[in-house]
Chain A
Amino acid sequence: MTKATYLEAIRQAQHEEMSRDPRVFIMGEDIICNVFGTTTGFVEAFGTERVRDTPISENGFIGAAAGASMVGMRPIVDATIASFLYPAMDQIMSIIAKSRYIYGGQARLPLVIRTCLFYGNSNAAQHSDRPYSMFMNVPGLKIMVPSNAYDMKGMLKAAIRDDDPVLCFEDSTCWTSKSDMPDDPDFMIPLGKGDIKREGTDISVIAVAGAVPLALKAAEVLAKEGISIEVVDPRSLVPLDKALILKSVRKTGRAITVDPAHQTCSAASEISALIVEQAFDALRGPVLRVATADTHLPFSPAIEKALYPTVDRIVTAARTLVGTARPVSA
């Protein structure tokens, strides 16, 4: 067991899988020079055929990943920042998500598109997107949103071995967090399996990606007030571990969903709807959402930070929920 950061976990997962399987290769913009440190030493180990710098051409190389996967390769695309997926929406939505289906199962697309959620650091609206919920709205894409280094490594290895296309969203607010890493080269966490990050009895806080560490901090604060929080980390949004979420809510009778994405049509919204539809009888109050307000992310740090979910906002929502019997607005 050695400790590794979230970024190092990505590097290890890729390195191990590329060493294990010659069909795995990686491509993206400036990955040889290795901007974020997830491909350190890769060219030396695997050569420039399997570690490919691409032109700035997201629709082109993400489409090429689709084609390569259809003929037996297992591409990893490093799409740097999630906002850069938009030029490739054509290939992601029309080709990658749908080819297996429209060709009646003839096509297999075992590929991983990795990209980071680059918010909270004055990168302004065009670089700060958290767009995973947009992709939840089209069938055919698996979506993982790990919140710590351990989950990242296990899930990314599983994603690379998965025969379906996977979008891997890497929360930059988690980059430097560390976990103990198992030595097992086949250590994997299957997609679709959520995790209880902290057990509790009063409120289920279902948190997505970088909201998980915030929920854990909020739970500490609330524990001192005698409020017991259960933190549920779905870890992947597609497939979604509905059973784990519903079981937790049935136990606590209260739910808060926390999501760094914009609130409207967010993962938080979808999870809230799931709870209301399938565990209404167990609820002792409304399901509250703590998400990012529906405005763009401004550059100035003076007005950016407060827009996202914070420990304080989660604490306030929890107090509201246990303190009142009637529905309140968030």
Chain B
Amino acid sequence: MTDRPNDRSLEKYRRMLRIRHFEDKAEAIHAAGEIPGALHTYAGQEASGVGACIALRNDDYMVGTHRSHGHPIAKGAKLRPLMAELLGKVTGICKGKGGSMHLSDFSVGSLGETSIVGSGIPVAAGAALGSKLQGNDRVALCFFGDGATNEGAFHEGMNLAAVWKLPAIFVCENNGYAVSTPASAAVPVKDIAERAKAYAMPAIIVDGQDVDAVEAAVTEAVERARTGGGPTLVETKTYRYADHAVNMGRILLDRGAEVDEWRKRDPLTLYRARLLEAGVAAATLDAMEQEVADEVADALQFARDSAYPEQADAFDDVFVDRLPIPDYLTA
């Protein structure tokens, strides 16, 4: 599939660049000890997230997973509050209370990435139900991994969306593994997409390294959802380059030459070649990459310059009203 080098295709490339540079930077500063906790990176899967989100409107909803950095960026979130969140700063998008597994940006419809595997799926169905009840035409898209499709929450969410014909799009990012477990050892069907049959739901399998192909598939699903045709399951065949997570126990999984094989089909490299072929000047793309690198550097500087939350902030946002602060923290 070819694309005209229009604003939209450049925007796709920009968002993929944002994710890649953001992840590279995050990994580097995590290694340097600047990011607490674990880090699940999205590098390798950019075309899946960006292709899907570019098919959405700004006011559509999106719910995601523990591998949380790529999705909000793909949905259009600003980088500063995301990077500040990784560093646990009060200027973070979640005020330093969510961290790496819970990036989000409600202002662009990113309703939160949730780190209990599968748990976002009923939530997305509910957001879609909200649209239906409000009589608007917003759709809700949910990302989840291959592993999540073995959770009850996946089946309950799919079933509910199907029987109620909700305007939902379920995007399974099949990166072949759940931590160390290959999908082939945990999923009895060849393609995750087959699982849609149980819910009489249309399904599409798509090359998750090709941002245009993902966009086309999700656009079809979005149109169906927006016009009352109900939900779709889209399976993007993709791959994560890094280990499952850094700093979450010892994950010794030797994937051999597989990583290099997938790098040959790197989503950014593929798309850059397509844009060049379509007549975009290399200088334009290089300039864009420099801008993105600057943007990420700026986000990191912002995060570094920001303050940490106050101890009292741990008691905010549990409920609408702030909880009282116990004596042992004020004495």
Q: Which positions in A face B, CB cutoff 8 Å?
A: 25, 49-50, 52, 54-55, 57, 59-73, 75, 87, 90-91, 94-95, 99-108, 139-140, 142, 163-164
Q: Are B98 and A104 in contact (CB under 8 A)?
A: yes
Q: Note all chain A residues with C-beta closer than 8 A to B127.
A: 67-68, 70-71
User: Is the CB–CB distance between B106 and A102 below 8 Å?
Assistant: no
Among residues of A, the one whose C-beta sits closest to the C-beta of B90 is A104
- Known A59-B152, A72-B134; contact A102-B98, beta-carbon cutoff 8 A: yes
Contact with A along B111-147 (1 / 0, CB 8 A): 1101010110111111111111110001010000000
Question: Which residue of B has the minimal Cβ distance to A162?
Answer: B320
Please, how many residues of chain B have a CB less than 8 angstroms from a CB on the other chain? Answer: 49
Interface contact B104-A106, CB-CB below 8 Å: yes
Among residues of B, the one whose C-beta sits closest to the C-beta of A73 is B130
Q: Which of B126, B152, B318 contacts A66 (CB 8 A)?
A: B126
Task: List, in ascending order, chain A residues with CB within 8 A of B111's CB.
Answer: 67, 70-71, 107
Across the interface, name the chain A residue whose C-beta is closest to B109.
A71
* Residues of chain B lying within 8 A (CB to CB) of residue A103: 93-94, 98, 102, 104, 106, 112
B137-162, CB under 8 A of A: which get 1 and which 0? 01010000000000011001101100
**In the assembled complex, which residues on chain A have CB atoms less than 8 Å from the CB atom of B130?**
67-73
Q: Are B112 and A107 touching (Cβ within 8 A)?
A: yes
Q: Is there an interface contact between A63 and B159, defined as CB atoms closer than 8 Å? A: no
Residues of B within 8 A of A108 (CB): 320
A62 to chain B minimum Cβ distance, whole angstroms, is: 7
A55-B163, A95-B114, A104-B95 as given contacts; A64 in contact with B119, CB under 8 Å = no
In the bound assembly, the distance between CA atoms of A56 and B75 in angstroms comes to 33
Within the assembled complex, what's the spacing in Å between the Cα atoms of A52 and B318? 29
Binding site for A on B (CB under 8 A): 61, 63, 92-98, 102, 104-106, 111-112, 114, 116, 118-119, 121-134, 138, 140, 152-153, 156-157, 159-160, 163-164, 316-320, 323
Are A102 and B112 touching (Cβ within 8 A)?
yes
Asked if B319 contacts A100 (CB within 8 A), the reply is: yes
Check B116 against A94 for contact (C-beta < 8 Å). Answer: yes
Q: B122 is contacted by which of A67, A99, A139, A140 (Cβ under 8 Å)?
A: A67
Bound state CA distance, A25 and B320, in angstroms? 22
Q: Which of chain B's residues have a CB closer than 8 A to the CB of A102?
A: 94, 97-98, 102, 112
Contact B153 A59 (CB under 8 A): yes
Nearest CB on B from A144, distance (A): 14
- Highest count of chain B CB atoms <10 Å: which of A57, A65, A75, A104: A104
Bound CA–CA A73/B125 (angstroms): 13
Q: Would you give the shortest CB distance from A97 to chain B, in whole angstroms?
A: 9
Collect the chain B residues with CB atoms within 8 Å of residue A142's CB.
Answer: 319
Are A25 and B121 touching (Cβ within 8 A)? Answer: no
- Chain B residues closer than 8 Å to A60, beta-carbon distance: 122, 125, 153, 156-157, 159-160
Question: Which of A64, A95, A99, A104 is in CB contact (< 8 Å) with B129?
Answer: A64
Which of B95, B116, B128, B159 is close to A57, meaning CB atoms less than 8 Å apart? B159
Q: Which residues of B contact A163 (CB under 8 A)?
A: 320
CA distance A100 to B13 in the complex (A): 33
Nearest-CB distance from A31 to chain B (Å)? 15
Asked if B318 and A100 make an inter-chain contact with CB atoms under 8 angstroms apart, the answer reads yes
Q: Are A63 and B121 in contact (CB under 8 A)?
A: yes
Inside 8 A of B132's CB, which chain A residues have their CB?
49
Are A59 and B156 neighbours in the complex by a CB distance under 8 Å?
yes
5 shortest A-B CB distances, which residue pairs?
A67-B126, A63-B122, A60-B156, A64-B126, A104-B95
- Do B61 and A71 touch across chains, with their CB atoms under 8 A apart? yes
| Residue in B closest to A72 when the chains form the complex, CB atoms | B130
- Indicate if the CB atoms of A105 and B95 lie closer than 8 Å: yes
Contact A55 B159 (CB under 8 A): yes
Residues in A with CB closer than 8 Å to B123 are 63-64, 66-67, 70, 91, 95
Kindly list 16 other residue pairs between chains A and B, CB separation below 8 angstroms, not including A71-B126, A102-B102. A59-B122, A63-B153, A64-B122, A66-B122, A67-B129, A68-B126, A70-B111, A71-B61, A71-B134, A90-B116, A90-B119, A91-B153, A95-B122, A100-B319, A107-B111, A139-B318
Least Cβ–Cβ distance between B123 and chain A, in angstroms: 4
- Complex Cα distance, B320 from A164, in Å, reads 7
Determine the distance from Cα of A164 to Cα of B319 in the docked complex, in whole angstroms. 6
Find chain B residues with CB under 8 A from A57 CB: 156, 159-160
Q: How far is the CA of A40 from the CA of B156 in the complex (A)?
A: 28
Nearest opposing residue in chain B for A111, CB measure: B126
Give chain B residues whose Cβ lies under 8 Å from the Cβ of A72. 130, 134
> How many angstroms from the CA of A122 to the CA of B138 in the assembled complex?
48
Known: A25-B133, A66-B126, A67-B128. A101 touches B317 (CB 8 A): yes
A87 to chain B, nearest CB (A): 8
Would you call B134 and A63 a contact (CB within 8 A)?
no
In angstroms, Cα B316 to Cα A5, docked, is: 38
Contact A63 B317 (CB under 8 A): no
Separation in Å of the A174 CB from the closest CB of chain B? 27
